[in-house]
Chain A
Amino acid sequence: MATIASASALNPREIDNTDDIPGRRAQLITGNQTYSSVTEMVCRVAEDPQPMLWYVLFGFSSITAVMFLSLIGYLILTGVGIWGNMNPVFWAWPIVNFVFWVGIGHAGTLISAILFLFRQNWRTSINRAAEAMTIFAVICAAIYPGIHVGRAWLAFWLIPYPSLNLWMWPQFRSPLLWDVFAVGTYASTSLVFWYMGMIPDLATYRDRSKTPVKRMIYGLLCLGWTGSSRHWLRYEKAYTLLAALAAPLVLSVHTVVSFDFAVSQVAGWHTTIFPPYFVAGAIFSGFAMVVTLLVPVRKIYKLENLITLRHLDNMNKIILATGSLVGLAYGTEFFIAWYSKNPYEGFTFMNRAFGPYWWAYWIMVSCNVISPQLFWFKKFRTTPWIMVIISIFVNIGMWFERFVITVTSLSRDYLPSSWGYFRPTIFDGLMFFGSFGVFMSLFLLFCRYLPTIAMSEVKGVMSSSEHAEHLQAELLGGGHSHGHGHH
């Protein structure tokens, strides 16, 4: 099949395959790849010596992570008073950071599960890295409520176990406990999904290992995978089932997170659109983070033929769509606050936009609603450095969204006598920054030791799209040329 694509003059691997003439699908991966060239490209990431940049980034991020862990130790020894949380804003940065990271952690499983159910084959080049990112983001997220409980070493009391010391059970009507179940299920299911997806690729790593130690470690990790057709059959069934299970799970996690706020009676928190609006926001920020990470990854590891402009273009379109959905939700909330004639709702929203936190509100609106609108233009959707900037803006905006929701509503609630203005401490800032160190360290280790792209899935898609082209050509009575088909 003729490729509808043109190579960029600067980088021969940068081929524009974003458009396809209706009736002819552009190739998902460029450069006339074969099965073995896909293996080669992906395995090289881990097999070749890492570039200097990797060491620089890893050094920086691991130092940041160590700082974060030390601060957690300091927090545990001293108490949560080192943060700026103070009457009336008792839920401040820790919950903002928690929701921020959990939101980011939505893209991976969404790509693996929902896009899989919608037969979006382009997901195969990006799902592995996105799932890894999901797990690392959920780890970062889970830290915050864990250390916010005050006596962090008793956080396991959240789990319903027959305790001889307590003689009591958790309170199941609390949305915070739902969070424990939702985030716990999400983290473990995502981990299983990610690991299961990696088994065949770990077998590839095993079979390409040069040293016996590596061979043994990858051999253990891949459970002795052979690629037997019987195994593949059950594996694919299991993958499909996990996708079908993970799809509603992804939705449920941020829904439950939104319940933390929305079941209350606090004006600005209690609104019924919160569940779908939070989910849209989570997908939005998650995809932004995937773009932020994958653009450098494909550049550094020369994966432009696998993670093509089409993948980036599609992700940017999803960012645009979810960004607009979030904008619609902001609008709906504002409209209903006015329409309802509820004085508290009305006040809260005016206070958000024009009160003491006006700056946070307008940062949120401009980053979340306005900046993704640039993705209406193809130029912005297909220029890597521009999309990185926009996606970083999106994540800044999404952090501020959670800040606006949490802090503005709490700082001025029903009791004007206890209104206040929240001020973070240096520890709030350092601990938020530090969580990026944990996240980046884990992601860099992932790139170095584990298969960053789902090779077996990419190959499967290569095979099935070739098959589909063949069938369509037969239907049209032949006369269709084959690009990379090899019969």
Chain B
Amino acid sequence: MSIDVSVLRPWSIVGVAGALELHPFEVVRLLAKDGSLPRDLRLRPQDVVRIVELGGLEVWWSPQSVATLTSPSLVRALARELLVREVVEPIWTRADNLFRGLDAGSEGVVRRAVNVWIRSGAMGSRMSARGLELSVRAAAVADLRALAEAGSGAYTGLLEETDE
């Protein structure tokens, strides 16, 4: 019998990146930004906390919270999260915050809704050092609130489409 020695080591960058749903180079960027990338390129708990802080990483979803949601419910929940977290101009959030914690199917639903909102002008997007960032346009807040609270308003079509 042999023991897998890898469990004895501090975490690898790629391992932490996977757990945080980031590209490993984004982990490197965040820690290099304030000179805290360990020389041995192995990460300890405090490094991970730092990554989360520096990167503004948020986890909006958990497997439990998503498990019971249908696609339309997920779109409404997404609109609600955006408003509750006040991701309205001039506040921007990393695009990957919207997807973190989702399985592939749910991620597809969220991605589709985001694309619709960007195309319709309800949501702004921009590239930054952190990657793609998103923000709800002030003029679209009422529509998203109607969608979140009553499943009504300008984006009810989105619910029907995602219900298919």
Partners in one complex: no
Residues of B within 8 A of A (CB): none
Residues of A within 8 A of B (CB): none
